[in-house]
């Protein structure tokens, strides 16, 4: 049988619940729990922020890589004066 959790916070995209084994933060946009079994509400939000920071860094690195490839490709067709 599934464990009953107490709802702590909820808006359109985020749900924070207190369960027997800690706090769980679920993000509907990401479609996943971003924090599981955190000791406190604050820790759950900190874990979530850290997850988003890591994703931001990955996205930024991917953008730089793609931008460099596109720039290199376009430069092949630019005539120099």
Where exactly are the structural domains of the chain?
6-75
Helices (H), 1-81: 41-75
Non-local (6+) Cβ contacts of 45 within 8 A are 16, 25, 35
Distance between CA 31 and CA 46 in Å, rounded? 18
What's this model's pTM, rounded to 2 decimal places? Answer: 0.78
Per-residue pLDDT of the chain (81 residues; tens, 9 = 90+): 567 999 999 999 999 999 999 999 999 999 999 999 999 999 999 999 999 999 999 999 999 999 999 999 999 998 876
What helix, strand, coil percent values describe the chain, rounded to 5?
A: 45, 30, 25
Are β-strands 6-10 and 22-27 bridged in parallel, bridged antiparallel, or unpaired? unpaired
Q: Which residues pair with 14 in a beta bridge?
A: 27
């Amino acid at each position: 049988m599934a464990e009953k959790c107490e709802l702590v916070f909820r808006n359109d995209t985020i749900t924070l619940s207190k369960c027997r084994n800690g706090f769980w933060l679920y993000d509907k946009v990401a479609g996943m729990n971003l924090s599981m079994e955190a000791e406190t509400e604050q820790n759950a939000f900190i874990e979530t922020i850290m997850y988003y920071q890591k994703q931001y860094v990955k996205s930024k690195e991917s953008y730089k890589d793609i931008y460099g490839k596109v720039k290199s490709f376009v430069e092949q067709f630019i005539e120099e004066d």
